[in-house]
Amino acid sequence: MASEATLGSGRRNWLPSWLAGDTVQGIRRQRMVLGILFLLPTLIGLILFVLGPIVVAVAMGFMKWNVFRPPEFVALKNFARLFQHDLVGNSFSNTFVMMAMTVGMLEVFAIALALSVHRFARSRLAYFFRTVWFLPVLLSGVSVAVTLSYMFHTDFGVVNYYLGVLGIDKVPWLVSSDVVRLSVSLATVWRNLGFTFIIYLGGVSALPQEILEAATVDGARGLKRLWLITLPLLSPTILFATVIDVIRLLQFFDEPYVMTRGGPGDSSRTAVMMVYDTAFANLEFGYASSISVVLFLIILAVTGFQFLLSKRWVFYQ
């Protein structure tokens, strides 16, 4: 009777015979039925609230629509226009530059933080730092806008004030087209580091200590150990985090929107800001949709490429 109390209640056999778990086929059928049932809530929700609107948005990419008048089919005109539109090309290249800077800093800092805090894993100190680093993630866009625009102001900002104390000239953080992409990326790193860090913390906590210790005994220490042992062991997490961060940051919107509205000029204008302004300021919903479609295809390609590449560097135990 003891087995009844554990996992053996399947023996009660309340399942119909074609689902019985005592044949390989029955198990396969069980999995299929369960799989479909489990997916249903997500699928129904996605179809209604996500795929539905996406299909409409994609369809709009082939139309001209300003909300006031019925949509008008224009075939590929929107796409032809966007490939000649400098502003669109410029916003895509800004997006890539800022994405690369931001993801680069995010992954390096987040891994370093996760490895560092792991050294003090169970202490109150670690608890304190984990809370502190996560705080910016908890702030809303408005607060970040207020705070960071203030910090980075050329004449009134804190950053330049302290640089001035160190004898460094004022840096035009948000008004120089050379510097602004870096400033916005820094702000984004500030706000998102906690998010990426949490993901890495999970990965680092799960590192098999036996292997690490064995490596140390074998003489792998310091950077060598990090490079040859720790990072490869962490690679599945790195894949997940970079895929998610790249997807999120190719859709960069909040920070540049609130800090610069894409300026000065167009130097920090991102692809999604282009979508937003085209739709809601210029009332060209069709054209905006066509830009989203192109952005979507690019993100899809980049993600696919990351997975493809991951076969070469991601190490599964």
Partner 1 sequence: MNALSRREMIQASAATVAAVALPGSVALASAPSQDNITLRLQADPRDYQEVIDAYAGVAPNVTVEPVSVTGIDHAEVATKILASLAAGTPVDIGFAATEATQLYAGEGLAMGMKDRLLDQPDDLMEYFSDVSPVLVETDFYEGDLYQLPRDFNAANMWLNTKLVGEAGLEMPGEDWTKDDFNEYAKALTGLGPEGDSFGFAWNNGLWGGWLPWIFVNGSNLLSEERVGGGEWLWDTFYADDPNAAGRGGGFRWPEPQANNAANVEALEHVVALTRDGYAPSVERGFAENLSGFFAADKIGMYPGGGFFTGFLQDAGMEPGTYDAQFWPWWQSQRHQLGVGALWILIGGSEDAAWDFVKWHTGRDVMEMIGFFRVTRTTPARRSMCTAERFPNVSNWNIFYDTVDARPDTGPIPAPVFSIELTNIFTRYTEVAVSLEQSPQDTLDAMQRELEDLYARNA
Partner 2 sequence: MTVINRLSTRRRGDEDVVERIPDWMPRNAADWLAMAFMVAIGMLTIMPIIWVMSTSLRTPAESFTVPPEWLPEDLYFGNYLQVFDEIPFVYQMGNSFFVTLSTVVGQLTTATLAGYTFARLYFPGRDALFWVVLATLMIPYQATLIPLFVIISKVFGLADTLWSLILPALPTAFGTFLLRQYFLQIPVEYEEAAMMDGANQFQIFRRVYLPMVAPGMAILAVLAFNGKWNDFLTPLIFMNTTSRFPITLGINDLQRYMMTGSISVVLAAIVMATLPVVIVYIFGQRYLIEGLMVGGLKG
Evaluate whether 100 touches 185 at the Cβ level (below 8 Å): no
259 binding partner (options partner 1, partner 2, none; Cβ < 5 to 8 Å by kind): partner 1
Among residues 32 and 158, whose Cβ is nearest to partner 1?
A: 158
Over the window 122 to 161, marking each residue x when it contacts partner 2 by CB under 8 A and - when it does not, the resulting string is: xxxxxx-xxxxxxxxxxxxxxx--xxx-xx----x-x--x
The minimum distance between CB 227 and partner 2, in angstroms, equals 15
73: part of which helix (H) or strand (E)? strand 72-73
Exactly one of 82, 99, 229, 295 binds partner 2 (CB under 8 A); which one? 295
**Contact (CB, 8 A) for 188 and 198:** no
Q: At its nearest, how many Å lie between partner 1 and the CB of residue 91?
A: 12
Residues 219-278 that bind partner 1 (CB under 8 A): 258-266, 277
Other Cβ atoms less than 10 A from the Cβ of 1: the count is: 5
- Is 52 a binding residue for partner 1 by CB under 8 A? The answer is yes
| Residues 166-185, interacting with partner 2 (CB under 8 A) | none
- Choosing from 120, 280, 307, 315, the residue that interacts with partner 1 (CB under 8 A) is 280
Q: Does 84 bind partner 2 (CB under 8 A)?
A: no
On whether the CB atoms of residues 211 and 229 are closer than 8 A, the answer is: yes
| Of the residues 18, 23, 25, 49, which one makes contact with partner 2 according to CB under 8 A | 49
Q: How far apart are CA 191 and CA 171, in angstroms?
A: 21
Give me the half-sphere count of Cα atoms (radius 13 Å) on the Cβ side of residue 186.
Answer: 12
Contact criterion met (CB below 8 Å) for 193 and 129: no
| From 75-83, 99-107, 115-123, 175-183, span contacting partner 2 (CB under 8 A) | 115-123
Q: How far apart are CA 5 and CA 3, in angstroms?
A: 5
CB 257 within 8 A of CB 187: no
**CB under 8 A: which stretch of 25-33, 52-60, 192-200, 206-214 binds partner 1?**
52-60
DSSP state of 69: S
Interface pick for partner 1 out of 39, 50, 56, 297 (rule CB under 8 A)? 56
Determine, following the binding rule CB under 8 A, whether residue 101 of this chain makes contact with partner 2. Answer: no
Query: In terms of Cα–Cα distance, which of 144, 153, 191, 145 is closest to 175?
Result: 153
Closest by alpha carbon to 191, among 120, 264, 272, 248? 248
Which residues contribute to the site for partner 1 (CB under 8 A)? 52-53, 55-56, 59-60, 65, 67-71, 145-146, 148-150, 153-156, 172, 174-177, 258-266, 277, 280-283
